Amino acid sequence: MIKIFDTTLRDGEQSPGFSMNLREKLIMAKQLENLGVDVIEAGFAAASDDDFESVRQIGEMCENTEVCGLARCHEQDIEATMKALVDAAKPRVHVFIATSDIHLEHKLKMTRDEAIKKAIMGVKLARSFTSMVDFSPEDATRSDRKFLVEILTEAIKAGADTLNIPDTVGYSTPEEFGDLIKFIRENVPGADKVIISTHCHNDLGMAVANSLAGVRNGATQVECTINGIGERAGNAALEEVVMAMKTRPDLYPGATGIITPQLFATSKLLQQITGQKVQPNKAIVGRNAFAHEAGIHQHGVMNYSLTYEIMKPEDVGYQSSQLILGKHSGRKALAARLEGLGIKVSSERLDSIFKKFKALADRKKNIYDEDLIMVAMDYDVDKKFELVSARIFSEKDKMAKADCVIRCGEEMEEIEAEGDGPVSALYSAIVKVSRLKGQLTSFAINALTPEKEAVGMVNIEWTDGDGKQWYGHASDTDVTVAAGKALIDVLNRMEIRRVYDREQGRLQFVM
């Protein structure tokens, strides 16, 4: 078995933009335990009162997962960690000291012999509290190998059950890191009786590759984080390490205890807590990880998923693959999506719809179900709602006001509303007129042109009262107006869907 040591709540949370409060850490820790990680590094107890409480409460909450606190090889650090974990079901203490000459000389102002003495003291003190003690030689990949053997040997003698080998600054390559793990296994007395762990950073984009190279060369634990968050460019991504081992058991010996269908939910939870989304093309958990737009790929996946997918979407928590319709898509994918919407068409009718679809795809970046309904059914309801005019008044430290004229069908309605800002005021007006339920859940502005009179594109996500997501987008030289038009776009999509749902039975026979 390969142990998974998750440091999302410690190393991951240290990265700018990813800080979490105590309640959020507890929620995340519970999900990590549900995911099946072997160890949760809950924080640096000596760093602050909040970190101390995180380590303490997570330690008390988790029943099956080891809960670890990080500490420098300082007595006060280790004592704070032991105090925080005193009521934990499975307490683990992780002590570290830098071992590279760069760190010893310029950061610690310490000799190698002094570092060894500190390491022995730290491990022994932690060992007096628990048998589960990790020792890390910080910046191991830039440390002298002879010195590494010395300090790791002493750490084992002092009682460490795990030697964690950090590539602290992401300096190593897979060949080097794998060779380092092999070297430690072969040259440190007693290394065969302890766990060898990897802790790789992603500064050169090789954290996962280095971790896997470590596993191939004898490491039996991987330190990693959800979504690969962490200092600077991040840590090895847990979901990538786990699925690489699961997908390629021929290359990576041993399995993990991770419940992989929980991966996507865990990733989404972290994104919701931190407000930081992963990039669409992120491996395993990105929006496009199981999405296909090219017609050849779509055809292949529809016939046999393994043609273009090396793992099942369900294995990581997705419901199914996504066939994304765009200008590269083919007839088979279009027909499949229409059939999924309840629209069955003849081959002749499909040819006509396909031409219209291609023309629309050339003009639009995103094609939604409502666009397909409109093309297939020749609907003309996309302009039921229109933002005819809008005057926005906004002043610092005062409520913004919107004075609008909005067309709803044949009716023109004048409306005034207030909000915390110009967009809020405009949205309040539109919501009043349309009686729209739900809330704005995503809002993004991008400049389409670089000139002074740049055109702004606004993309929004609106979650209705039933929890369904609706997407709208619009452009204008006035970004507030563009935002208003984007919400109008959502209303028109909802109207298309309402008309379709009402007439669906009759229209199927027409096709």
The confidence band for 355, taking pLDDT boundaries of 50, 70 and 90, is confident
The tokens for 66 are 């080891």
CA 296/CA 252 separation, integer angstroms: 32
pLDDT above 90 for 346: no
Please report the sign of the dihedral spanned by the C-alpha atoms of residue 299, residue 305, residue 307, residue 313. positive
CA 423/CA 253 separation, integer angstroms: 55
Q: What is the mean pLDDT of residues 351-368?
A: 70
Residue 285 belongs to some domain of the structure: no
Q: 52 and 163 share a domain?
A: yes
Q: Which residue has the higher pLDDT, 385 or 212?
A: 212
Comparing CA positions, the residue from 75, 138, 56, 62 lying closest to residue 103 is 138
Residue 504 belongs to some domain of the structure: no
Residue 90 belongs to some domain of the structure: yes
Q: 85 and 137 share a domain?
A: yes
Residue 287 belongs to some domain of the structure: no
Can you give the pLDDT at residue 334?
A: 76
293 secondary structure, DSSP code: -
Q: 3-state class of 5 per DSSP?
A: strand
pLDDT above 80 for 306: no
Angle CA 47–49–55, to nearest 5: 80
**Range with the poorest average pLDDT among 115-124, 329-338, 369-378, 453-462:** 369-378
Q: 331 and 372 share a domain?
A: yes
Residue 262 belongs to some domain of the structure: yes
CA 354/CA 331 separation, integer angstroms: 7
Can you give the CATH number for the domain in which 23 is found? 3.20.20.70
Can you give the pLDDT at residue 253?
A: 81
Average pLDDT, the chain: 87
Q: 7 and 142 share a domain?
A: yes
The confidence band for 290, taking pLDDT boundaries of 50, 70 and 90, is low
Q: 372 and 392 share a domain?
A: no
Q: 118 and 230 share a domain?
A: yes
Comparing CA positions, the residue from 495, 507, 501, 504 lying closest to residue 409 is 495
Q: 337 and 396 share a domain?
A: no
Residue 347 belongs to some domain of the structure: yes
Q: Which of 348, 377, 406 is the last residue in one of the domains?
A: 377
Q: Which residue has the higher pLDDT, 181 or 14?
A: 181
CA 42/CA 29 separation, integer angstroms: 8
Q: Which domain holds residue 331?
A: 293-377
Q: 269 and 373 share a domain?
A: no
Q: Which residues contact 509 (CB under 8 A, 6 or more apart)?
A: none
Phi/psi for 255 (5° steps) reads -120, 165
Model confidence over 389-428: pLDDT tens digits? 999 999 888 999 999 999 998 889 999 999 999 999 999 9
Residue 490 belongs to some domain of the structure: yes
Given a contact cutoff of 8 angstroms between Cβ atoms, the answer to whether 321 and 305 are in contact is yes
Q: 406 and 360 share a domain?
A: no
Mark out the alpha helices in 304-366 (DSSP H runs). 331-340, 347-363
Residue 279 belongs to some domain of the structure: no
Angle CA 16–223–86, to nearest 5: 90
Comparing CA positions, the residue from 341, 328, 351, 228 lying closest to residue 278 is 228
Can you give the CATH number for the domain in which 422 is found? 3.30.160.270
Q: Which of 326, 345, 377 is the last residue in one of the domains?
A: 377
Q: 3-state class of 421 per DSSP?
A: coil
Can you give the pLDDT at residue 299?
A: 47
Q: 132 and 84 share a domain?
A: yes
Q: Which residues contact 93 (CB under 8 A, 6 or more apart)?
A: 68, 69, 71, 78, 81, 82, 85, 126, 129, 130, 132, 133, 134
Model confidence over 101-124: pLDDT tens digits? 999 999 999 999 999 999 999 999
Q: Which of 329, 345, 377 is the last residue in one of the domains?
A: 377
Neighbours of 388 (CB within 10 A): 11
Q: 390 and 247 share a domain?
A: no
The tokens for 136 are 């890390």
Model confidence over 219-255: pLDDT tens digits? 999 999 999 999 999 999 999 999 999 999 999 988 9
Q: 326 and 229 share a domain?
A: no
Q: Does pTM surpass 0.85?
A: no
**For the chain, how many structural domains are there in total?**
3
